[in-house]
Structure 1
Amino acid sequence: MKFGKEFVSQMVPEWQEAYLDYKSLKALLKDLLRFLQTRTPTAMASTPNGSVLNRRASLYRAFSGLTCRHRDSPRAKEDEEILVTEDGEDGRYQTFVTVSDEERGYEVKFFNELDHEFNKVVGFYKKKVKEVVEEADELSRQMDALIALRLKVDNPMVDFGDGPQSAVHPINGRSAGGQHMDVIEEVEMMEDEDRGDNEPKTRTQKANGGIEGFKPPQLEILEHVKINVAPETPVSTLKGIILNSENQELSFSKKELRKAEEQMKQAFNEFYQKLRLLKSYCFLNQLAFSKIMKKHDKITSRNASKVHLNMLETSYLGTCDDVSYSSTFCLLSIQGIYIYELHLKLCIVNHLFLPSQVSRLIERVEATFIKHFANGNHRKGMKTLRPTARREKHRSTFVLGLFSGCSIALVVAIIVLIHARGLLESEGRSLYMENIFPLYSLFGFIVLHMVIFSANIYYWRRYRVNYSFIFGFKKGTELGYRQSFLMSSGLAVLALAGVLSNLDMEMDPSTQSFRALTELVPLGLVIVLVGIMLCPFNIVYRSSRFFLIQAVVHCVCAPLYKVTLPDFFLADQLTSQVQAFRSLEFYVCYYGWGDFKKRSHNCLDSHVYKTFYFIVAIIPYWIRSLQCLRRLVEEKDGMQGLNGLKYFSTIVAVAMRTSFDMKKGMKWKILAMTSSIVATVVSTYWDIVIDWGLLRRNSENRWLRDKLLIPNKSVYFVAMVLNVLLRLAWMQSVLGFREAPFIHRTALVAIVACLEIIRRGIWNFFRLENEHLNNVGKYRAFKSVPLPFNYYHDEGKSI
């Protein structure tokens, strides 16, 4: 793989605009090369880079001896033609080059762009280093409070304040009162790395292994600390509403300690990932800068890279804020193409650069995390900090192909069986479509949604949408499109096998006695599906299943949980699965109160069923409305209030259409059509303008947005048109298209539900694309983790 493609693939997606624009610099060098080729077309014709010309000219150059040191070197003169200066006020670098008038336009343009890109990289790196240093200071303060809290919780009688030392004094790891000091080793936050070599030690080891003169953090820290209890559960939310305060006093309970430790663990993990990516950002830009300078030297036969690499070494990007690295080997690895390819991984893994400020922070975070959150287990701590990415396995691909082939074969077998028996013209057609078809259509809705989501994941990866960060998946546990398609194809095989067994048993007279068993197949599939979802064992992607279950619980308990993107994204998916919820309701009625052995039920005549027929269709939209209300209260964002009104209009439209579907009449038809038109217009506008960020009249891309991930702009216009057309699928229920000649009413309802699922799949891609571009615009590559403690003065003001 060429360096340009490798450079792009290694970028942090949200920081892509802050990297060196290697592509544009390379394009400028190509323009310079074409200009040089036009100046000497005959000589350049033999090779695109003019290397043959240089070799031929050197053959006829006069021999100047082996030791003519007194003569001026041509290379020295060339070096004098290029000068790089640094502005003392803002630290910006500027290149001055002395070239012929013909070359000036190309060379000056290249170096101006190079200076602009380099200054951009240095400025961004300075800003991020400053941020991580400030964050490191805050984490140190939080860690002091956590250690003090550990001491207080594990040993309630311990007191290391300025008062009398009669309470507890550590002697050989035990308190005076006989309590064991298990946390003494954990209290060692500051190691020798935080002290100079000449500073006195804070503790000395006794000959018998005890600790003498040890000074743990003062417990008086806890007098200036409050616990940050974010409302993350229904109970804590209600408690926060009643008490009208999120910052509660410390109660020194073990539950409180566990909560604080979990929050600090997440904060350290996120901080460590930020440091790693910042170090990678610095290293990749150094390599890109050196590579582009080498290409320049190769085209112009200059030695400009020497001056610019010296600038790189002395700049903030090279010195890393007061710590310079040895240029002996690293400049060799930067300047040489082949050396770079051989030693790229070695430079990263073996730390060939002397430790920078970021590198020192990485080492400190590792040591702190291993000691205080992994009980000194290095392997366990590093496994948490550096989780391994999910590896593609050949057996997964094989099983995926097997299930896909079986699904196709089963579909063909069902079609042949229906045609052979003539089920479309049989007397039991209506009975089957009204009783069995709704049972199996549930699996069709789920499979279709999963297949489209697999396609979403594929295109998100293709266009570098950081969906794992946006959803908040734990690194290394996110599903790829293959895994998602594997689960959907597996479920499709089970459902299609159930349909085929149902038809086959009815055809064979010898299996008529198994009719009751045949009718229970759909219920058995539902039980299997629920069992797999709730299975506690580490099989079938347990982390992803539990992540989904957690999001479902948050949706059901809305607005008592804090709303995150996975929660409202899942709720939006549920709004497109209204017919699936109604199928579940039909399961309860059919197997609970109907006679499934005779394929008969009275569900449509039951007032309870009709009531829940309304409720299950409204529940997903009601959940989204409550989530918008929660965000309106917390974020004070008026757009969330408008979004809630949009979902409320959809609730009214669904209720009116359902009423017309059951009661008929011109009155209900007018109400259903009016409310549906209003909801469709509002929802369509919100989808395209707010969620997708399109229809910007003054944008760089007319009627789209300034930044697009898909090069073909027509895709966006097609998506907008499809969104409008697919949203009009409700018209079939209002305009009287109840049953086509060859399509039963239930089949038509299922087709309309599938169209809504397809529309939601299209919405998913552009919704996350817009979210990703918003993160890119704000350079937001990490999620904010709430810290457990809040410092404050005695006067009550926060520090």
Structure 2
Amino acid sequence: MVKFSKELEAQLIPEWKDYFVNYWQLKKNVKKIKLSRKPKQSSQVYHNSGQYCSSVVDSFFDSARSLVSSISSKLHSTSSSSLEDNEVVESNSIEDEVEHEFHDSELSQLFSEEEEVKKFFERLDEELEKVDNFYKARETEFQQRGEALIKQLDILLDLKQVFNQRSRKNFTSPYSSVHGGRLSRSDSISTRNWDCSENMCETNETSDVSSQTDEVIAALEKNGLNFIGAATRAKSKKGKPKMALRIDIPATNPTRTISAVTSMLWEDLVNTSSKDTPMELISRKKIQCAEKMIRGAFVELYKGLGLLKTYSSLNMVAFTKILKKFDKVANQQASCNYLKTVKRSNFISSDKVVKLMDEVESLFIKHFAEDDRKKAMKYLRPQQQKDSHMITFLVGLFTGCFVTLFAIYAILAHLSGLFSRGYRDDPGYMETVYPIFSTFALLGLHLFMYGCNLLMWKATRINYTFIFEFNPKTALKYRDAFLVCTSLMTAVVGALVLHLILRSKGFPPQQIDAIPGILLLVFFALLMCPINVFYRPTRYCFLKVIRNIVLSPLYKVVMVDFFMADQLTSQIPLLRHMETTACYFLANSLGSYPYDVCKKGKLYKELAYVISFAPYYWRAMQCARRWFDESDVKQLANLGKYVSAMIAAGARLTYAQQQEPTVFFTILVVATSVIATIYQLYWDFVQDWGFFDHSSRNPWLRDDLVLKNKSVYYISIVINLVLRVAWVESVMRLNKVGNVEAKFLDFSLASLEVIRRGHWNFYRLENEHLNNVGKFRAVKTVPLPFRETDFDD
């Protein structure tokens, strides 16, 4: 049977961890009460033994008195009488001291127990007050969010009613459902009834439709909302401010980004025309986007209410369990009385959360699921995938296959003299097989490190699915990441073994060199396969993120976008290998000389700079976009870090291409690389990891740490520092030792950078998680589309 402390730790909400009952501290208080009772029991035994000893002393003195009295009859009576009196007094004084000592010991143990009990209940009161206050704050927050969301839904229904009226010529008045100046929520919202065209409704409506539209707008105005253009603001009544309705749609794609820049100018231009009707200021597409935003907000609100309900039930069970432990240890029956106080608290007695959950559920079923409860529950309560033993079996199977095939490849390479002098002079193998193998090897290593990250995040209760805004139902788990990694590497090493066997059998190089190219094409085909196999949601999410990165800064930047862009800055060698491979196969298919074109041509050198700069450029553009959206000056400083990295990378690349670099250029390369490295280390430790806080209670770290062993953090600082200065190898020109040795050295350094990035990922997300904990963000805050703006006359 699992202990409740373990069960509580596994089920509590990570972002609200500090505001749950401190069950572990209360267990320590109960243990102190238990320990305070043990000495009392032993003192009772000691007291009984003391009484036995005093009786022995009395019997001894009685026998001594009888002996003395017999002797005194033969001697003089005066001396015997004096001796007897002295010994009787002495025995009485010894007995009184023993009894007084044991009495004081018993009282001290009793007071000690009462003191520990008092501390326990004081601590219990503090925990109860903490839980209740936190619950009240979150309950109020969700209530306010629910009221605002319901109001947004009312506005959406009213606007949709207007468009439905304007799109029908012969339309019976739906306004009979208006109560108190507002439309009732009788019409469900269905996106399938909307087309995605930007065209407005026909302008030749009948007079009835126009009058009905005016009635709906009047209903909106009666509830404090008006469609006021620049030409009509002056016509409002004096002394009464008007509320202008505005639909704010986040600029999450290039089209919306461009429209967001010009939206104010366009609206002012449209509003100057008095011929435009108020409803023409809002497009149909905006209504659809607003509907999607409100639906997402309902889902997040329902999720937050469910978490608050779980918070209440877990804390109630914790109070019950700890009070039962106290009753058992203290031999008292205090749990019943104290639990009555707990049940009277707001987090147990209040039913506002349950009522709001029911209301949200009914509204969502009615307006977003076409009265289909099963369909609505797929959005409101998505089911997470269960861990499959088959995945674990396949991971083990592919791991064994990879190790076996790699051993076979190493043996065959040694027997065939793959790295002998003859093969070294032949660039075919190193220019076709090595780049593709390095590409897949680095990709597999990155997937392996990501699987390790997922495993550690799960073990330390870091809510990565919430931080990355992944769908819990389709999010990749660590076993899945290991499965993708092992299966990929098994296929790659299998292709290498096949390539080597065919090469040793004397097949023409033009035929067997197509094997790596076929493997690469199969990989890309599988990545973009539309069939729902091989983790299609994850594959499409990856492609979407890559699209957002490449088109930066046109897309709004979210956490997963800049996190993936940081990964690409560590995979520049992989991009270089992909460029070399594509160039070789393209040149070979065109009948050119692939080695001369892809290694010595001017185009190759220019592409080398482009590929080396691209990840840093994308990341810098993301910082620029975040500064534009959030007005955070830190994003400009972060942009400077990637600009310095671009300058250093360009200097090192130019240095590597020179045969005999000058001393000045060597100093320039070292200076730019040192400046970029210091910049990067500062940002890693201070901004990304949150370390080096001078006021922290943990020296050189931060106040809150997920890992219990602090030495791990100090070791990680040293590891990140060492791996950040790997660029020294390019300055020392160690890669001039030989073709094979140089490629092996480059691959080793690239692998170390991937390992450093995987190591960096854990602490980066740990810091992000702790920031969410500090702000109690357990659910997403979806922006609402309709905004009211006050306009005076």
Q: Is TM (by shorter chain) over 0.5?
A: yes
Contact 1:151-1:183 within 8 A present in 2 as well = no
Give the counterpart of 2:352 among 354, 357, 368: 357
- Residue 116 in structure 1 maps to residue 126 in structure 2: yes
Bigger radius of gyration among the two:
2
Report the Cα distance in structure 1 between the residues aligned to 2:467 and 2:654, rounded to whole angstroms: 39
| 8 Å Cα contact 2:432-2:581 kept in structure 1 | no
Aligned to 2:93: none
What's the CA shift for 1:470?
0.5
Structure 2 counterpart of 1:380: 375
Cα distance in 1, alignment partners of residues 337 and 392 from structure 2: 52
Give the alignment partner of residue 618 of structure 1, picking from 613, 618, 626: 613
Aligned to 1:16: 17
Q: Distance in 1 between matches of 2:529 and 2:671?
A: 46
Amino acid at match of 2:113: E
CA distance in 1, matches of 2:535, 2:608: 33
Q: CA deviation at 1:157?
A: 6.0
Aligned to 2:339: 309
Amino acid at match of 2:557: V
Counterpart amino acid of 1:668? Answer: F
The residue number in structure 1 matching 2:152 is: 142
Q: Partners of 1:118 and 1:182 in 2: how far apart?
A: 42
The reply on whether 1:522 has 2:519 as its aligned counterpart is no
Alpha-carbon distance between aligned partners in 2 of 1:553 and 1:623, rounded to the nearest angstrom: 11
Whether 1:638 aligns to 2:638 is no
Matched, 1:673 2:667: no
1:453 paired to 2:454:
no
Distance 2:160 2:45 in 1: 74
Letter in 1 for 2:645: T
The farther-off stretch of 523-532 and 114-123 is 523-532
Name the structure 1 match of 2:679.
682
The one-letter amino acid of 1:107's match is V
Please, which of 241, 250, 264 is the counterpart of residue 230 of structure 1?
250
The answer to which structure has the higher helix fraction is 2
Give yes or no for the alignment of 1:768 onto 2:762: no
Paired residues for 1:571-720 under 5 Å: 571-594=565-588, 600-664=595-659, 665-666=661-662, 667-720=664-717
Query: How far, CA to CA, are the matches of 1:9 and 1:398 in structure 2?
Result: 25
State how far apart, in whole Å, the 1-side matches of 2:40 and 2:522 are. Answer: 75
> Identity of aligned pairs, percent?
34
How far has the Cα of 1:596 moved from its partner?
A: 9.9
Change (3 A) 1:456 1:44: farther
Could you give the per-residue CA deviations for residues 42-77 of structure 1, whole angstroms, max 9, x where no partner exists?
8899xxxxxxxxxxxxxxxxxxxxxxxxxxxxxxxx
Equivalent pair of 2:572/2:611 in contact (CA under 8 Å): yes
**Correspondence for 1:199:** none
Match of 2:117 in 1: 107
- Matched residue type, 2:23: Y
Q: Select 1:269's aligned residue among 295, 299, 315.
A: 299
Note if contact 1:558-1:627 (Cα within 8 Å) is conserved in structure 2: yes
Residue 776 of structure 2: SS of its match in structure 1?
coil
Q: TM-score, normalised by structure 1?
A: 0.79
3-state SS in 1 of match to 2:735:
coil
Tell me: CA distance 1:140–1:736, structure 2 relative to 1, closer, same or farther (3 Å): same
Shift of 1:101: 2.5
Q: Name the CA distance, whole Å, in 2 between partners of 1:37 and 1:455.
A: 47
- Show CA shifts across 1:177-225 (max 9, x none): xxxx99953289xxxxxxxxxxxxxxxxxxxxxxxxx999945557342
**Root-mean-square deviation over aligned CA pairs:** 2.8
- The CA distance in 1 between the partners of 2:634 and 2:560, in whole Å, is 19
Which has the larger displacement, 586-595 or 297-306?
586-595
C-alpha separation in 1, matches of 2:33 and 2:399: 53
What is the deviation of 1:255?
Answer: 2.2
- Amino acid in the other structure paired with 1:428: Y
Match of 2:36? 35
In the alignment, the residues of structure 2 paired with residue 414 and residue 464 of structure 1 have an alpha-carbon distance, to the nearest angstrom, of 40
Give 1:698 deviation, angstroms: 2.9
With the length of structure 2 as denominator, give the TM-score of the two structures.
0.80
Map Cα deviations across residues 349-377 of structure 1 (whole Å, 9 max, x no partner).
xxxxxxx1101111111111111111111
Given the superposition, is the C-alpha separation of residues 167 and 615 from structure 1 closer, same or farther in structure 2, using an over 3 Å criterion?
same
Letter of the 1:587 counterpart: T
Instruction: Deviation per CA, 1:731-755: give whole Å up to 9, x if none.
Output: 1111111145795212211111111
- How many angstroms apart in 1 are the aligned matches of 2:458 and 2:218? 47
Give the equivalent residue in structure 1 for 2:86: none
> What SS does structure 2 have at the residue aligned with 1:539?
coil
How far 1:393 sits from its partner (Å)? 1.8
The reply to whether residue 498 of structure 1 matches residue 500 of structure 2 is no
Q: Does the Cα contact within 8 Å between 1:693 and 1:770 map onto a contact in 2? A: yes
Q: Quick check: 1:294 aligned with 2:289?
A: no
Which amino acid is 2:149 matched to? Answer: L
8 Å CA contact 1:153, 1:257 repeated in 2: no
> Distance in 1 between the 2:377 and 2:348 partners?
27
Secondary structure class of the residue paired with 1:109? helix
How far did 1:604 drift?
Answer: 2.2
| Alpha-carbon displacement from aligned partner over 1:424-457 (angstroms, at most 9, x marks no partner) | 2241135222443122211111101000000000
SS in 2 for 1:707: coil
Aligned residue for 2:67?
none
C-alpha separation in 2, matches of 1:371 and 1:405: 53
Please say which of residues 374-383 and 598-607 is displaced more in the overlay: 598-607
Residue 546 in structure 1 maps to residue 540 in structure 2 = yes
After TM superposition, give the deviation of residue 586 of structure 1 in Å. 0.7
Q: 1:696, 1:704 within 8 Å by CA — same for their partners in 2?
A: yes
**Greater RCO, CA 8 A, separation 6+:** 2
Q: Which has the higher mean CA deviation after the structures are superposed, 545-554 or 422-431?
A: 422-431
Distance 1:389 1:216, change over 3 A: farther
User: C-alpha distance in 2, partners of 1:313/1:545?
Assistant: 49
Given that residues 227 and 247 in structure 1 are in contact (C-alpha distance below 8 angstroms), is that contact kept between their aligned partners in structure 2? no
What's the secondary structure of 1:186's corresponding residue? coil
| Matched-pair contact (CA < 8 Å) for 1:442–1:583 | yes
Seen in structure 2, the aligned counterparts of structure 1 residues 410 and 172 have a Cα distance that, compared at 3 Å, is same
Q: Superposed, which structure 2 residues align to 1:42-191 within 5 Å?
A: 100-156=110-166, 168-170=172-174, 185-186=187-188
Deviation at 1:154, TM superposition (A): 2.6
Aligned to 2:81: none
Q: SS in structure 2 opposite 1:225? A: strand
Aligned counterparts of 2:521 and 2:740: Cα–Cα separation in 1: 30
| Pair 313,236 (structure 1): closer, same or farther in 2 beyond 3 Å | same
Counterpart pick for 1:473 among 470, 473, 476: 470
3-state SS, counterpart of residue 790 of structure 1: strand
- TM-superposed deviation, 1:318: 2.3
| Counterpart AA for 1:279 | K
- CA–CA separation in structure 2 for the residues paired with 1:243 and 1:639: 27
Q: Relative to 1, partners in 2 of residues 1:677 and 1:216: Cα closer, same or farther, differing over 3 Å?
A: closer
- Measure, in 1, the Cα distance between the counterparts of 2:572 and 2:535: 26
Distance 2:543 2:335 in 1: 56
SS in 1 for 2:726: helix
Do the aligned partners of 1:145 and 1:222 also contact (CA within 8 Å) in 2? no
One-letter amino acid of the counterpart of residue 621, structure 2: L
Deviation at 1:595, TM superposition (A): 6.9
Instruction: Give the secondary-structure state (helix, strand or coil) at the position aligned to 2:142.
Output: helix
Q: Which residue of structure 1 aligns with residue 418 of structure 2?
A: 423
Q: Is the 8 A contact 1:229 1:247 kept in 2?
A: no
**2-structure distance, mates of 1:677, 1:747:** 25
State the distance in 1 between where 2:267 and 2:535 align: 37
Tell me by how many angstroms 1:610 deviates.
Answer: 0.6
User: Which deviates more from structure 2 when the two are superposed, residues 523-532 or residues 287-296?
Assistant: 523-532
- In 2: Cα distance, 1:3 partner to 1:661 partner: 61
Q: Distance in 1 between matches of 2:388 and 2:363?
A: 35
- What are the superposed Cα offsets for residues 241-283 of structure 1, whole Å, 9 maximum, x if unpaired? 2335799986454422221111111100000000000011011
Any unmatched runs of 5+ in structure 1?
46-98, 160-165, 174-180, 189-213, 321-355
- In structure 1, give the amino acid aligned to 2:729: Q
Q: Distance in 1 between matches of 2:114 and 2:185?
A: 69
